[in-house]
Structure 1
């Protein structure tokens, strides 16, 4: 579903803004997350097991993600929406891989995070795009 220009943007270490169904009496509240595009064309993210977004995704396994070029660049964004699957396996590996994408895994701060994720576990969130919108100036 992603075009080459989408993949060029999505291949950069930019934050994705993940939106899930809100709690009752609340508005949707996007959250910035680290992500990668999988070989199957899905978007993989992770979260700590106690995260409220995981409870909402278990109740309603749909989400949307928006990734945008940073200020100072021509406007360019990609938005995907679709079903979500949650996986207990592969989350720590994904988190460690994304640490190298978004930071420096040799930095003690990131090493401590990876160790925390190994000890507490993380859930891999996979968004399977059903609809993609985009804009490029």
Structure 2
């Protein structure tokens, strides 16, 4: 489902923008998230179990993620739509892997947060692509 140039973009420590179905009269509101591509082609991220996005995913398990190259590079983005599932396993390990991917550990506040993630209550969100759109300049 992904092309080689998509995989190269998704392998970078870039923010993904996650959108889930809104509630009531609200508009969809994307949130920046850390993510990783799994060997089977899904995207996974972690969250607190009581976050609004997790609540909404439990009600309507569809989501989209957009990842884009940063400013200053040729335009390139990948948009993924699909079913999202919430899992109680693997979130702490994922959080630690992603912290290693996204952070340099010079900030003591990062260490404090890592300690919370090691033992805290987190969930893992897995988005399985049904549709992939892309653009590459």
TM-score interval for Structure 1 and Structure 2 normalised by the shorter chain: over 0.9
TM-score, scaled relative to structure 1: 0.96
- The alpha carbon displacement at 1:112 in A equals 1.1
Counterpart of 1:76? 76
TM-score by length of 2: 0.96
In structure 1, runs of 5+ residues without a counterpart are none
Q: Conserved in 2, the CA contact under 8 Å of 1:48 and 1:117?
A: no
Determine helix, strand or coil for the equivalent of 1:127. Answer: strand
SS in 2 for 1:55: helix
| CA apart distance, 1:106 | 6.4
**SS, match of residue 41 in structure 1:** coil
- Aligned residues: CA RMSD: 1.1
Q: How far is the alpha carbon of 1:119 from its aligned partner?
A: 3.5
- Three-state SS of the structure 2 residue aligned to 1:19 is strand
After the TM superposition, list the runs of 4 or more consecutive aligned residues in structure 1 that deviate by more than 6 angstroms.
none
Q: How does 1:1-137 map to 2 (within 5 A)?
A: 1-105=1-105, 107-137=107-137
In structure 2, C-alpha distance between the alignment counterparts of 1:105 and 1:127, rounded to whole Å: 28
Aligned length: 137
Q: Deviations over 1:33-67 (max 9, x none)?
A: 00000011000001011100000000000100000
Cα distance between partner residues in 2 of 1:105 and 1:39? 27
In structure 2, C-alpha distance between the alignment counterparts of 1:91 and 1:60, rounded to whole Å: 21
Gaps of 5+ in 2: none
